[in-house]
Structure 1
Amino acid sequence: MAESSDQHQEAVVDGQQSDPRPRRGFWFGVVVALVKPFMLTWTKPVFTGRENMPRTGGVVFVPNHISHFDPFVLGFFVWECRRIPRLLGKASLFKLPIAGRIITSAGQIPVHRDSTQAADAFRDAVAAVERGECVGVYPEGTITRDPELWPMSGKTGAARIALMTGAPVIPIANWGAQEILQSYTGKIRVRLLPRKTVLARAGKPVDLSAFQGKPITNQLLHEATEVIMRALAETLGELRGETPPAELFDPRKARREESE
């Protein structure tokens, strides 16, 4: 797979035929018109595993979170998979003067943390999957705190949506966004030059057959989430050419150990 030297050509993908684009609507069209030229101008996208993303029907995709920049990488990747991404995001982003209106009108789903509206995002996500849409849930809930940027232990939302709807779960690993915008450094610093290579890879659907058809209890959700997070870590390992840790970083456990 050779990477194109023309920064305005299509992202480098894995040899898949060019499928018809989905109907995107006006506002999502605005997002594509803004994001795609930006990504092709300022980054070098290399995308693999598109064959693992179902072309139709409800899907839950679960990405790792390494930077505030990676939603651009993931949205572009899912669009190149010929799907329209519906990402769950912090409610504060939806209140921004211009960007907030665009992402709201483009069908993205706000998450109101620690409020009476927190359950609305879950209901909206379930409804979107049942309509046959491609819904993205960051299972870690925040940018990873793992020192090596591996996925952390996950929250149960993605597993619950998948088990309630019967939709497949697709792990999507990304790498390189942290070189453009580092997190937890104390200040925001964007580094676009020299152009950074951003990688994304869709793994095979997570096998949740052991949990389907059973009562959805907290224990079941936690076990299913562990399977999802392990699949995501393995997909990231394939992308990085490294072996993920045997035990994923648990921020709650780390805080307890620090306090002892």
Structure 2
Amino acid sequence: MQPARRPDQPTPPSWWSIPVTSPPAPNKSRAKDNDLRRCATCAARGSQGPGNHPVTSPGGHTDWGVAWWVAVVICKPVLILVRRRDWRGVERIPARGPAVLAANHISKLDPLLVAEMVLANGRIPALLAKSSLFEEKIVGRWFRAAGHVEVDRSHGADGFGAALTALRSGALLVVYPEGTITKDPDGGLMELKTGAVRLAIESGAPLIPVAQRGAEEILPAYSRRPKLFKRPTVTIDIGPPLDLTDLRQLGPGPEAAIAGTRRLADALAQMLDQLAERHGASDQSSRCRS
């Protein structure tokens, strides 16, 4: 059963939502078409995606741009081969306007997998990325063309200002508030930085927690050797937006940022516990069937 979609929410581009072999579940984004050949035709349409469905870009426009088309054509077939997927709560992604998605960080694959989910639900994500990635010849060129936000950790204020500007122009911003891939051996949440909450408070954008699990089974944290043949289920859960009304009334400052970050940490920890329980039950069921 597909999650309810609001009347004003764009229909996801069918070519991105190619079905996988995992069975459908409640609140999951389902695929309807597997024809990747549409990509070339749709890229030529400029401001329209497949089937003439508009897709909102970071700046609030409806032009995908060449960078995202290239990424889709290259990455989507690989993702189909290396993972199953389980997306829940995707109806909580705003159809338009600014938002901050705050996700836990467990693998170098996280940005790709979260971007896939966001794209499949009618939005183009803008990622906060460290400046060293922008300095790479090929990767850096793609990051700029795709509209991502550069963060120079030696000049934190500049990165924060760029992210705030992106939100005020309508971006859907993906942030990893841990600041790096978790060093917890069990993939647990590390201490969060306050940037995601500060951005949400100062921009007025909703702050939406995102819990994920499974990417580390394809590419373990801090490893360069992917495990390509296990085909694990990558689960991404989108939580309800956090209520920051009282903190916005306090105005920008350390008190509001710290209190909001505690709320975000509590929400993510609870969601990750639920994910662990769900994965444990799924693993037990698989062992029983075998």
What TM-score, normalized by structure 1, do the two folds share?
A: 0.82
Superposition pairs of residues 28-67 of structure 1, within 5 angstroms: 28-67=68-107
8 Å contact 1:153–1:226 — kept in the other structure? no
Report the CA distance between 1:15 and its aligned residue. Answer: 5.0
What amino acid maps onto 2:232 in structure 1? Answer: K
8 Å contact 1:86–1:108 — kept in the other structure? yes
Report the CA distance between 1:214 and its aligned residue. Answer: 1.3
**Worse-superposed segment, 48-57 or 34-43:** 34-43
Partner of 2:19: 10
Q: 2:240 aligns with which of 200, 204, 213?
A: 204
Report the CA distance between 1:148 and its aligned residue. Answer: 2.4
Instruction: Quote the Cα distance in structure 1 between the aligned partners of 2:179 and 2:188.
Output: 14
Instruction: Quote the Cα distance in structure 2 between the aligned partners of 1:10 and 1:130.
Output: 35
Q: SS of 1:170's equivalent?
A: strand
| Percent identical residues | 36
**Worse-superposed segment, 76-85 or 170-179:** 76-85
Q: 1:180 aligns with which of 210, 218, 226?
A: 218
What TM-score, normalized by structure 2, do the two folds share?
A: 0.74
Instruction: Quote the Cα distance in structure 1 between the aligned partners of 2:110 and 2:253.
Output: 32
What amino acid maps onto 2:134 in structure 1? Answer: F
Report the CA distance between 1:192 and its aligned residue. Answer: 0.9
Partner of 1:215: 251
Q: 2:186 aligns with which of 116, 135, 148?
A: 148
Report the CA distance between 1:103 and its aligned residue. Answer: 1.7
Instruction: Please report the RMSD computed on the Cα atoms of aligned residues, expressed in angstroms.
Output: 2.3
What amino acid maps onto 1:107 in structure 2? Answer: G
Report the CA distance between 1:195 and its aligned residue. Answer: 1.6
8 Å contact 1:60–1:158 — kept in the other structure? yes
Instruction: Quote the Cα distance in structure 2 between the aligned partners of 1:204 and 1:53.
Output: 9
Instruction: Quote the Cα distance in structure 1 between the aligned partners of 2:276 and 2:231.
Output: 19
Instruction: Tell me: CA distance 1:81–1:241, structure 2 relative to 1, closer, same or farther (3 Å).
Output: farther
Report the CA distance between 1:16 and its aligned residue. Answer: 5.5
Instruction: Quote the Cα distance in structure 2 between the aligned partners of 1:33 and 1:164.
Output: 36
Bigger RCO (CA 8 Å, 6+ sep): 1
8 Å contact 1:31–1:106 — kept in the other structure? no
Instruction: Quote the Cα distance in structure 1 between the aligned partners of 2:229 and 2:173.
Output: 32
Instruction: Quote the Cα distance in structure 2 between the aligned partners of 1:128 and 1:36.
Output: 26
Instruction: Tell me: CA distance 1:221–1:168, structure 2 relative to 1, closer, same or farther (3 Å).
Output: same
CA offset digits 1:187-224 (Å, max 9, x no partner): 52111112222111111111112212213221221111
Partner of 1:139: 177
Instruction: Quote the Cα distance in structure 2 between the aligned partners of 1:77 and 1:202.
Output: 10
Report the CA distance between 1:154 and its aligned residue. Answer: 0.7
Instruction: Quote the Cα distance in structure 1 between the aligned partners of 2:143 and 2:72.
Output: 11
> How many residues align structurally?
233
